[in-house]
Structure 1
Amino acid sequence: MSAGDGDAAYVGLMSGTSVDGIDAALLHLAPNGAVRGILAARYTPLDSELAEAVHQAGADTPLHRLCELDRRLADAFAEAADTIQRQAPAELPVAAIGCHGQTVWHQGREAGTDDGASSVQIGDPNRIAARTGLPVVADFRRRDIAEGGHGAPLAPSFHAYCWGAGDAASAVVNLGGIANLTLLPAGAGTVIGFDSGPANTLLDAWARRHLDARFDADGAWAASGRVDQELLGRLRADPYFARPPPKSTGPEHFNLEWLLAHRRGDEDPADVQATLAELTASTVADALGRGGDAPARVWVCGGGSHNGDLMRRLQAHCPEAAVASTAALGMDPDYVEAAAFAWLAWARLHHHPGNLPSVTGARRRAVLGGVYAP
């Protein structure tokens, strides 16, 4: 892959609700933002004590503790960015870092209201800029919220830029802690995207509780259980699933306490895991039906793309679609989200809007993020 005049590399950093590590992607972009490819990608595990402290952080965390985590996470982000930027070719300058930060609180806008949305990410971008010597673009969500949106999801802009306007309707599904999706119509129609509900956040929490493991590898434990239809019905009755988009959610809503409140208490743990996998697959499939034309292709990214049981369930719920990971599009499913924030950094520096009002519910398109000079 050769660099054209004005080509540049951008670093994208992402840590999700699993809070296990940092995904870093070095993205090669043309001057107009067209993606030429991922030059390098790297996963850096977080120190277990830091990861647990961040996992426990939320609305009740003392301010001095959040400030401490803000500093420590910034240092971890800076180290990940510094490592990956060294892999850029000499002829391709690294223009900036796009850092999503670690979400410690996200609340979508209540249906029918004009207020209530809030979103907080930590990992001080000033500190990242000082340590790496590169401009850092961060704080992407709050401008969309200021424009009346949910501040999430933001990756659909990137998905549409890369893979939109095809000859058939398609969808990109990110199976991270929360499942979010982008519905890409054939041609130049309106892109729809929203959070459909829980994915790995519940599956991982239940695995940690019963397996003493961070996650259910390949969904093997879920595959060994049977779906508890009664429990599934109670979980699917949550009003969030029936709400029309735009909408967003997070582990503030879908968490272990939410699950425990719906259990009888005598369910077999493997059956609960199977039920949680079925909940994710069925609610994603329901969400995919909210567009005009049913997608002919469903591209999956995020950690859930490696969960064989979950992918089989999703295919079973979408029999008319071809379900595959974004690897088939030439992009590693583990680094699509990191690449999205590298691209959003390009968008900010080039004054290109980073949100889609049809996705977030904002009143208008807006340039997202603040720029922190080195």
Structure 2
Amino acid sequence: MRFLWLALSMLLPAAAQAPMDPRGVSLARDAEARWIAFDLTPGNQIRFAMQVDGKPATAILDTGVSFSVASRQFARSAALPHADAPGRAAAIGGAVPIRWATVNSLTLGGLERTGGRLAVVDLAPIATGSAAGVDILVGSDILSCCALDIDYDTRRFRLLPSGRMPFTGTSVPLRIGATTQVYISEVVIAGRRIAPLIVDTGDGSAITLSHAAWQRSGARPSRMTSAIAFGIGGAIETDVTILPRLGLGTRIEPNVELRIEGPGGFSERTRTAGRIGSGLLQRYRVLLDPRAGHMILAAGRQAGAMPVRSTSGLLIGHDRGRLRVLHVMRGGPAALAGWKTGELICTVDGATVPPDAEGAVDTRWSAGSPGRTVALGMCDGGERELTLREFY
């Protein structure tokens, strides 16, 4: 269960994108057989192992990043040489400073890239919801060479030559954006086509719209609340609701969680209408093949599932044996009871918060059955009761 939306989208300015084509990307002859095992981070991102210059690295598969990234810590420990002068890139939460590093080789599954560069940025652990950060974000500059087959049900993916069709399903348009240099697609909301949307495997949410795109959609749900998202550039607050229907090609997906950015958010700054994230993609087996012009979706075990909704109105994160309130959702039970961001919880129904939750967002009780009353022991010695209910 996850209520914190975490996103690693980052778009470099056009001037930085021009020379990003690598010196060589190749697929092994047996690439189709080289499945790569992954796990989902607490932030809903695809995390796996790869190699950079022969060194092991923990990576996120991130089609929302226009140029692949190394964390500053990994670049230092791997002694990656600096390339060009510092710059800045657009990211969720605000612009971030970047440097550049040169690499000899990147290897994941049956793909190898020789030469080229990585953008170097600070990758805070909160962006994946884990106690430990990751080393690499593998972006569209590498992945768009090929077809990307992601099997969420079996937690594995592979890279194939463009044009392969390893399974059948619903076809949705997919391309590489001329200015964004990331994967671009579309959806239908309330009968209106919404585009361009970044297809972002590094975004843990389902669907995110810019404020302007939301206004254009004409959808007007009766209930809405607030949430918080963490990106490379920091935290942002969004509105959140549940769409009863969403169109993906000829497929209608029911009950989809939707976030709405405020005016001037990441989507508007990058001239996109929003993002399709892994919160929606993981309902399917997904083939992303922008060179062939399509995304193929085959229903998985989670297709049509109801999204998990908070009934407490508290978005919380694990903090060294405590639960820290990161956001109080608008109109929820916690907001009506006067809870504040930053408050610390040490016990839940008398049980001490474990010290080894690895930074994961704990939502097991905060999405409990409506009507249940939870006793929360505060770290300042007080105790509060919170009665759960539906509110959006």
Which interval holds the TM-score relative to the shorter structure? under 0.3
Length-normalised TM-score, structure 2? 0.22
Pick the structure with greater CA Rg. 2
Length-normalised TM-score, structure 1? 0.23
The structure where strand makes up a greater share of residues is 2
The structure where helix makes up a greater share of residues is 1
Which is bigger in relative contact order (C-alpha 8 A, separation at least 6)? 1
